[in-house]
Amino acid sequence: MQLKRAWFWFNKNTQKLISLCILIVIYFLGIGMAVIFSKLFGVKRDIRKGWISRKNMKKGLLEEMF
Amino acid sequence: MIILGISCYYHDSSVCIVKDGRIIAVTAEERFTRKKHDNGFPSNALGFCLDSLGVNINEVDVVSFYEKPILKFDRVLDQHIRCFPRSFKMFARTIPEWLKDRLGIRKKLKKMGYKGKVFFVEHHLSHAAASFYASSFKKADILTIDGVGEWATTTKGFGDGLKINLTDQINFPHSLGLFYSTMTAYLGFRVNNGEYKVMGLAAYGEANVYREKISKLINLESDGGYSLDMKYFSYEYKDKMVSKKLCDLLGGEVRKADSKVLERHKNIAASVQELLEKVIFGMLVKMHKERSCPNLVLSGGVALNSVVNGKIINNTPYKKLFITPDPGDGGGSLGSALYTYAHLEKKRPVIKNLVYLGPDFSKFDIEGILERYSLDIDYECFSSERELIEKTVNLILKNKVIGWFQGRMEWGPRALGNRSILAQATSLKMKDIVNLKVKKRESFRPFAPVILEEYVKDYFEINGELSKSTDYMLMVYPVKEEVKKKIPAIVHVDGTGRLQTIREESNFLYYNLVKSYYKKTGIPVLLNTSFNIRGEPIVCTPKDAVKCFLGTGIDYLVIGNYLVKKRKNV
């Protein structure tokens, strides 16, 4: 009986499940891309608390978006 | 050289146009779209700024954006990766926005026909530049504090002539702005909108009740900086800023927006405000030791906390303080434009008018609108300003509430006398009348006074030199004991007032209105609140003003040279 109910629910919500799967795949792809992006362009996160000196920080030119 | 400054995509989008170092116009997008704190691309504000100078976008030499989008995107990605998988929902919501709009500012401008250079000024550098270049200081220490820019949430440094050098920063997620916003959310107010309500509510509470618990949220570092205990905050991975642990710590859930404000909420607000002050004063005392400069420039959204601002001179070694009329993101467009000018031309911008830089409307525009609404209103034109002032003062003396619409609109979040609602401050009842008739806002929120500058020290306890920022309603000072009874409508529960000082050279008509009232009453103070109703931006056009006038209990509208009243059947 329960199996039948589960099958019925599955049939009724197929579209939703597929959407969810796609979303999860996109999410993981996104995170993957984010990691690559961060490695390529990212600034290493400074985990120090309190004031951090800006003296040695990489500062982009005015024309640059980073 | 024409420079266009733009800030957008976070909150309070705005545009500024600077020609040869002079500010021609600055305005926020919300004033045109009527959507409070509008964060979209500011097309309307941009159109207005270009029209103010009579140029098209191709005649602009440089467009300057108020932050570095890729650096900010880098922080957002880092945030999502670190908080994986809790950040799933936030990731799904924010990333498409980033890819669609936020990284495409150059493309957007290109689509509009702009072919010139686009510069990107760091977020906190924009804040710093807005306040430092607008100040009259040749040298000053600079502190910027807001929610978050790219990575920085707080920066310190100094300005010297042309040069701005931000020497240190505190990085996300440790943020005083986000701490205050989280507590705003906890107290049931809207983030990026209700922070000043927390500030007003704080005066009703006892800070000692929650002092110990609230102090657990921020650790004071030995170098004068601070860090947040992130287990109490969830803004790194959720849209909701308050974590369950914060609710447990404070012994209660987040207040629902329409529910009653209880004693505990007031006490929490008081502790939050107290802690904010403690951290800022601590930073400033340490900062002052580095250069012993007597001048301080403050910027970033947290500089809108006028209670803190009013206490700085008494609690730190600084002697002079300057804050620009809009130190928050709305001022980012101005800051980036001024910085770009100084950087390219190697000259300091020339600042004359820093307030009345918004849209202006001709007599014909006003007449046209009045004509259109002639079934609902009666109006009378005054040929001389003196007569108009005389008539208005007489109405104020009869306890009438006046909508005051004149000249160019103010820039920034405060109504500074060109889009204001004015009334007598002499009766406590007036606070309720204005609230009931027009504003319909929380009863705990105070109303602000406008005062003739020459009498300010007779009415308020101000030590040392008066800051120019009192012109922008950015400082709260205690009202002198002996005059409290004279102006009860503007005295907050803790005996303070968030004053605006006015001088003849800054706004002739407004000054003379208050002066004329003073001549008749001996009181140089009026109640001044923004010309809007709850939840809407300040009125911008004559049409907005007439609509607001008709939709509220404002008794008379003074618009240009016209005195407008409602017809009896309305």
Per-domain residue ranges for chain B? 2-131+327-345, 170-323, 363-569
A49 interfacial to chain B (CB closer than 8 Å): yes
Phi/psi region, residue B124 (left: phi>0; alpha: psi -120 to 50; beta: rest), is alpha
Please identify among residues 86-105 of chain B the ones whose CB lies closer than 8 Å to any CB of chain A. 88, 91-92, 95, 103
Q: Is residue B492 within 8 Å of residue B512, measured between CB atoms?
A: no
> Each residue of B258-293: b (16+ CB within 10 Å) or e?
eeebeebbbbbbbbbbbbbbbbbbbbbebbbeeeeb
**Whole-number pLDDT of residue B133:** 97
Identify the sign of the CA torsion B341, B342, B346, B352: positive
Phi/psi region, residue A25 (left: phi>0; alpha: psi -120 to 50; beta: rest), is alpha
Q: Is residue B414 within 8 Å of residue B463, measured between CB atoms?
A: no
- Evaluate if residue B276 carries a pLDDT over 80: yes
Tell me whether residues B78 and A46 touch, CB distance under 8 A: no
The CA distance from B14 to B23, in Å, is: 14
- CA distances (Å), origin B143, targets B67, B275, B289, B342: 17, 18, 14, 19
The CA distance from B257 to B190, in Å, is: 8
Tell me whether residues A62 and B167 touch, CB distance under 8 A: no
A28 interfacial to chain B (CB closer than 8 Å): no
The CA distance from B312 to B475, in Å, is: 10
> Topology of domain B170-323, per CATH?
Nucleotidyltransferase; domain 5 (3.30.420)
The ipTM of this complex is 0.87
**Whole-number pLDDT of residue B47:** 97
Q: How confident is the model at residue B570 (pLDDT cuts 50, 70, 90)?
A: low
B227 interfacial to chain A (CB closer than 8 Å): yes
- CATH class entry, domain B2-131+327-345: alpha beta
B263's tokens? 């004693």
Tell me whether residues B156 and A59 touch, CB distance under 8 A: no
Phi/psi region, residue B54 (left: phi>0; alpha: psi -120 to 50; beta: rest), is left
A55 interfacial to chain B (CB closer than 8 Å): yes
Decide which of 3.90.870.20, 3.40.50.300, 3.40.190.10, 3.50.50.60 is the CATH code for B363-569.
Answer: 3.90.870.20
- Bridge partners of B450, per DSSP, are B500, B526
Q: How many CB pairs under 8 A join A and B?
A: 94
**Whole-number pLDDT of residue B476:** 97
- Evaluate if residue B551 carries a pLDDT over 80: yes
Q: Do B2-131+327-345 and B170-323 agree at the fold level?
A: yes
Instruction: Give B24 or A23, the one with higher predicted confidence.
Output: B24
A65 interfacial to chain B (CB closer than 8 Å): yes
- Bridge partners of B171, per DSSP, are B152
**Tens-digit pLDDT profile for residues A6-55:** 887 777 778 888 888 888 888 788 777 777 776 666 556 666 688 999 98
Mind giving me the DSSP string for B451-499?
EEGGGHHHHB---SSPPGGGGGT-EEEEBPGGGTTTSGGG--TTSEEEE
**Tens-digit pLDDT profile for residues B509-522:** 999 999 999 999 99
Minimal CA–CA distance to B518: which of B431, B398, B387, B424?
A: B424
**Whole-number pLDDT of residue A22:** 87
Mean pLDDT over residues B260-274, rounded? 97
Give the whole-number percent of chain B exceeding pLDDT 70. Answer: 100
